[in-house]
A and B are shown apart, each in its own frame.
Chain A
Amino acid sequence: MIIGEPAHLPDGPDRGGPAQPLLSVRDLVKHFPVKGKGLFGKGAVVRAVDGVSFDIRKGETLGVVGESGCGKSTTARLLMHLIKADSGEMVFDGEKVGADLDLTAYRRQVQMVFQDSYASLNPRLTIEESIAYGPQVHGVSAAKARAKAHDLLARVGLEPGRFAGRYPHELSGGQRQRINIARALALEPRLVILDEAVSALDKSVEAQVLNLLQDLKDEFGLTYVFISHDLNVVKFIVDRVMVMYLGKVAEIGEGPAVFGAPRHPYTAALLASMPKMDPDARSAEAPLTGDPPNPINPPSGCRFHTRCALAEPVCSVQEPPLAAMEGLQEAACLMALPGSGHSRAPAPVEAAA
């Protein structure tokens, strides 16, 4: 695709058909070098994302959850190509990103909304200019881009006549996040990455923005990656969910399956840590002790074994692979892996991997 063509031409979406994942991620790795001679000496790296593979299906909302340092935001930035992966590949609707599909064309189809609604808008541009900026870079005429911006403002519930000429500081947090969403949609992307996009909003405004996101998804046929630390919101909005721990995928599967019957002890602990809404059934003890370990020096074997109540010696030696199981979910836990040597593991039935 050549720059100069209008971005909103139908560029033949859905090349591979509905069964082809919109984005396939394989063995994504990103290590950040640690500067200076710290406690860990030279050459230490933060293993932010350490071999992550997953598919994003067409039209779904994939949730990504985990504690701070689990790599969820780094994964988002890698998906967006804001930072370069050390290794791994991404296939967007059948085309390898960076090879078959150049980055300009890829970025037009993948957009992102960040947590900080103010920091992600240029304070010197009016709302209209901010939204029209992307399409103009991609070759749309100024007049068309402006008309499009007005149209999008109306779609996200902000009257164009009142808001188009305002600057970011003249808006509330909820309004600014609507602008960020409108801007993300200006290039008619197929995939939108929402990185804690509602986390900074007040609860009464959060509900409005969640409704808006659902409406836009239906209207524009979008696919979402929804990253959040708030499991209640994730449970409500996602179709599938991926749980990350220290740069690895701990569990992935259909939302109701993972939330209803988690197969990884970390997922279970994360769910049990959410504040209860019943004054007569408050939490009596914390499901996990301590903070997440440092991703500079992750534990050997299963990375969760240092905090896992069910860990056995084998867990510190053998790293569990992500194993498929009944119920449309996969978990990386030796207890779910037949014949792994963990006493709670199912007996090996056949020579199934």
Chain B
Amino acid sequence: MTEAVAIENLSVTFTGGSKPVRAVDGVSLSLGQGEVLALLGESGSGKSVTLRSLLRLHPPKRSRMTGSIRVAGRDVLELSPGELADFRGGVVSMIFQEPMLALDPVYTVGAQITEAIRRHEKISAADARKRALALFERVRIPSPDRRLDAYPHEMSGGMRQRAMIALALACRPSVLLADEPTTALDATVQIQILLLLRELQRELGLSIIFVTHDIGVAVEIADRIAVMYAGRVVESGSVRDVIRGPRHPYTRGLLASRVERAQKGDRLETIPGSPPDLTALPPGCAFAPRCSLAAPQCREIVPPLAEVGPAHTAACIRVAETV
């Protein structure tokens, strides 16, 4: 499989506050052509920051990025401002959790899509509108011609999300980044959007990185899962391997605490404590203070990701205990 995205040792530090915050710490990930990767993690795990790094959306004056991100053979961190503008939307584009904030409230959605197409390609306004109409049909918006002239506030939540997907696909990107695009939706609408993304991915051969905190959503959409904790990838593998045979104690805890497994009246298994403060990370494994398997050594060295099975890695020195 050719690689669509290759992230090597990416670190992102935000320097705007009183203390620097290392939100992403040495993340390496790869995404194959036509593959869907879910980045799973809790708030503050660095999953969204990793995603946004691919489009260099962090404020340059208040953040520091090191490492390398290669998309379609080009190093994203080396792009000039002009190249970056072509790159955004043209090669990689993104959909967000809240379409109401991502879409411009004072232009119709049709105008926003045709503007994006004409920014990237030499094409007449009429042809751009035809493309926009085809996109609306593609994302299954009913009465698409009329909807192109609607403002974002005139659409329902699910419809806005579809319009945003149409906008993201307007310039035929090869990589789509999705930052919790279904979290704010009702379950009945969420499953529609997940199925739509899966269909688009199949038909257009898109490579997708999908950020979510919801294991069920990751299972529905992804081929592979990378679990993040405190800015690092702690486990990565195929959906089947990670869900059925998790090896990192954090992934195991997360899966064990799911209410779906429990019977009414049971006590849920829990991970004690709460996610760590990124400004004051403990030395060694960031999960050690909450981990039942932690050994003295865990508090000294940061465990590297190591192979625990075919295409399945975990960053834990006690993996021998988690078979």
Contacts and interface: CB of A to CB of B under 8 A. Distances in A.
Given A204-B253, A204-B270, A275 B239 contact: no
Contacts of B43: 173, 202
Contact of B186 (A210, A229, A233, A285): A229
B268 A291 contact: no
A35 interface: no
B186 A292 contact: yes
Ranked 5 nearest A-B pairs via Cβ: A275-B216, A207-B257, A202-B42, A291-B156, A236-B259
Contact of B220 (A204, A231, A255, A282): A282
B97 interface: no
Contacts of A208: 268, 270, 272
A276 B268 contact: no
Interface in B151-204: 156-159, 186-192, 194-195
Interface of B: 42-43, 142, 156-159, 186-192, 194-195, 213-217, 219-220, 239-240, 243, 253-254, 257-260, 262, 264-265, 267-272, 274-275
Interface of A: 67-68, 172-175, 202-208, 210-211, 214, 229, 231-233, 235-238, 255-256, 269-270, 273-280, 282-283, 285-292
A279 B213 contact: no
Nearest to B41: A202
Given A208-B272, A277-B215, A279-B239, 13 more contacts: A172-B274, A202-B213, A204-B270, A204-B271, A208-B268, A208-B270, A236-B262, A277-B260, A280-B240, A285-B195, A287-B188, A291-B156, A291-B159
A68 B215 CA distance: 22
A290 B270 contact: no
A214 B265 CA distance: 8
A290 B186 CA distance: 11
A290 B264 contact: no
A235 to B, nearest CB: 7
A57 B253 CA distance: 35
10 contacts: A67-B188, A172-B275, A203-B254, A210-B268, A211-B268, A232-B258, A232-B260, A237-B264, A275-B194, A289-B192
* Central interface residue in B142, B189, B240, B267, by most chain A CB within 10 Å: B189
Contacts of B219: 275-279, 282
A283 B158 contact: no
A40 to B, nearest CB: 13
Contact of B275 (A202, A282, A288): A202
B293 to A, nearest CB: 16
A203 B213 contact: yes
A264 to B, nearest CB: 14
A255 B188 contact: no
Nearest to A238: B264
Contact of B188 (A172, A204, A237, A288): A288
Contacts of B259: 207, 210, 232-233, 235-237
B120 to A, nearest CB: 31
* Central interface residue in A232, A238, A286, A291, by most chain B CB within 10 Å: A291
B262 A277 contact: no
Nearest to B142: A290
A274 B214 CA distance: 11
B205 to A, nearest CB: 19
Nearest to A279: B239
Nearest to B266: A236
B57 to A, nearest CB: 23
A68 to B, nearest CB: 6
A232 to B, nearest CB: 5
B157 A68 contact: yes
B251 to A, nearest CB: 11
B158 A290 contact: yes
B243 A277 contact: yes
A211 B270 contact: yes
B243 A279 contact: yes
A276 B259 CA distance: 13
B267 A214 contact: yes
A236 B188 contact: no
Contacts of A172: 274-275
Contacts of A255: 264
Contacts of A173: 43
A256 B220 CA distance: 25
A203 B218 CA distance: 14
A23 B247 CA distance: 48
A172 B43 CA distance: 11
* Central interface residue in A173, A210, A269, by most chain B CB within 10 Å: A210
A215 B150 CA distance: 50
A231 B257 contact: no
A255 B192 CA distance: 26
A253 B176 CA distance: 43
Contacts of B192: 286, 288-289
A104 B217 CA distance: 44
Contacts of A233: 259
B157 A276 contact: no
Contacts of B268: 207-208, 210-211, 236
Nearest to A66: B186
Contact of B257 (A204, A235, A256, A280): A204
A176 to B, nearest CB: 11
A204 B157 contact: no
A196 to B, nearest CB: 13
Nearest to A285: B195
* Central interface residue in B188, B258, B271, by most chain A CB within 10 Å: B188
Nearest to A283: B191
B240 A279 contact: yes
A226 to B, nearest CB: 12
A5 to B, nearest CB: 37
A319 B260 CA distance: 35
A203 B187 contact: no
A214 B264 CA distance: 10
